[in-house]
Amino acid sequence: MMVTSRAPLRISGEHEFPDAPLGVPADNRSFDDVSAFPAVALFVERARAVRRDFTLAAGNAEVIAQICRRVDGLPLAIELAASKVKLLSPEQILDRLGSRLTLLKGGARDLPARQQTLRDTIDWSYELLEQPAARAFRALGVFPGGATLASIESVAGDVFESLETLIDHSLIRQIEGPRFGMLETIREFAIERLQVDGEADAARRGLAGEMLRIAEEADPALRGPDQARAGAIFEAEHDNMRAALRWALTDGADPILGARLAIRLGWFWYSHGYAVEGSAWLEAAHDTAADLSTDLRAMLLWRFGVLLDQRAEPARAAGLFEEAVALYRLLGDEGGTAAALNSWGSAVRNRGDGARARPLWEESLAIRRKLGDEAGQATALYNLGCLELDEGDASKGRSMLEEGLALDTKSGDEWGTAVDLNALGVAALDAGELGEARALLVRALQIFRDLGDRDRAAEVLGSLAGLAAAGGDPIRGARLVGAAEAVWGRLGIPLAPPDRARFDRYQDKAREALGAEGFEQAKEEGRSMTIDQAFTFALAETG
């Protein structure tokens, strides 16, 4: 016997067959790929029911795919959206889907009333919930990235049994790991209910407080042996943290809390390719959180400057670092002073003044040695080692980099290890030691890939481009040049001037071997790769 029900009947011998959302195509799929997805097929079928001449074509396939993604592949939502082609083009439908629940109405009149609008369908299920489950449902609405049980309970109290009820009623779902989430269409309804019930501000404050707690716990681990797990936590919570920042900073609800959260996100943004977004949030915190304590103000200036320097704004960054150093000295915070001095040196070097950068790095290293801070020593040694390489003392430069590598390896800092390996790989390449260079660069790329640092992974792709050109494979080199530039373009992060000069030399070598037309063709092939395809290509022995 087959029975349809809003929730499991919980009787002996029952087997559940959940009615899941339809499959939807990912971004930038080919026309043939898009047309094969069930969600797209349903849209086209229902659109033809109201407009016989409607067809799926190369010109509208991506827009229809976006509509299906925007409504989470929900069959009723797709049918309601498709019914609008009688009045609107697919592009106009997509534009109006900012509020899904307002647009998606007007279903067939022979359907029950609750199935004639998407809002009524969700509302019907919601009104059947008991109060504890309804409270849990509303609370989960403030988490755009889904949430763990602990995070949901930080906003709504004890909801363990209620989550099972919500899953049974298909209002929430279990997502990666021990996390729960909602389809965006349903979450929009949950936010509406929070606002109607006067709970929205309290729920958003609870979200922000929980995100700050998570960030303060995970941030210190980003430079130690547990950094992969810490990075994964930040990635999982990033959308939730963005929502908390919008509430605290953009809406002005709590600038101090927003600044504290943005500060704790600073290193994650720096080490995972979010410099553009992160610097915007830290600038908002800098401009709005006027009453920060001196220690937080110093940390904000430092981390804001780091992201500006990564975005190739070294002059502005240097001013922030100078101010941060002054505040850290005022506080007597030697560790903070050393960190800000090191970053100040990087900004000065990126402005082309290595001579002025040297004493800043040397002072930072001296403080770090005094404090016994091995990770900090490794960072200063890396910078000083790169400066020696730039100035032509390869032996001294490699020695300093190897000393830093040993310290990073000892402390379990995989990210720092990869930074050192890349620099040593470049040094080996410049010395003509191509086998050694490849071994070092491949290991660096593997680490950056695994840690999710797309910016520095692209930097290694550029180094491998130089290796390929030097090794007699300019086509491979040009493809890697294109792949690296595509990543930087997507991230909005340009190369620092000293690194740009080296990268341009690698390009020139490949262009000289291939000619301008051949070089551009191979480079375009690299640009068309996804980042995962670029990693696979770069790690292969040939190609």
Quick one: pLDDT band at residue 13, thresholds 50, 70, 90?
A: very low
Residue 464's closest CA among 439, 441, 448?
A: 441
Residue 31 confidence (pLDDT) above 70 = no
Return the SS3 of 536: helix
How many Cα neighbours within 13 Å face the side chain of 314? 18
**Residue 147 β-bridge partners:** 180
Residue 134 above 60 pLDDT? yes
Residue-wise pLDDT for 54-100, tens only, equals 888 888 888 998 888 887 787 777 887 788 887 788 898 888 766 55
- The answer on pLDDT for 102 being more than 70 is no
DSSP letters, 315-326, are: HHHHHHHHHHHH
* Per-residue pLDDT tens over the stretch 401-458: 999 999 999 999 999 999 999 999 999 999 999 999 999 999 999 999 999 999 999 9
CA angle 154, 151, 187 (to 5 degrees): 105
Percent of the chain with pLDDT over 90: 68
Over residues 222-233, mean pLDDT:
95
Sign of the dihedral through C-alpha 344, 346, 352, 354: positive
Question: Of 154, 265, 285, 279, which is closest to residue 219 (Cα–Cα)?
Answer: 265
- Structural domain boundaries in the chain: 31-108, 453-543
Rounded to the nearest 10 degrees, what angle do helices 454-470 and 497-527 cross at?
Answer: 80
**CA–CA gap between residue 342 and residue 251 (Å, rounded):** 35
Q: Torsion angle of alpha carbons 262, 264, 265, 267, nearest 10°?
A: 130
Residues 260-277, mean pLDDT to the nearest whole number? 97
pLDDT in tens, 177-220: 789 999 888 898 999 999 999 999 999 999 999 999 999 999 99
Residues 6+ apart with CB under 8 A from 8: 14, 16, 168
Give the whole-number percent of the chain exceeding pLDDT 70.
91
pLDDT for res 2: 39
pTM of the model: 0.84
Which of helix, strand or coil describes residue 47?
A: helix
pLDDT of residue 127: 82
Segment 507-524 shows an average pLDDT of 95
CA–centroid distance for 459 within its chain: 18
What is the mean pLDDT of the segment spanning 457-474? 96
Q: What are phi and psi of 325, to 5 degrees?
A: -60, -45
The reported pLDDT for the residue numbered 50 is 82
List 180's β-bridge partners, or say none. 147, 174
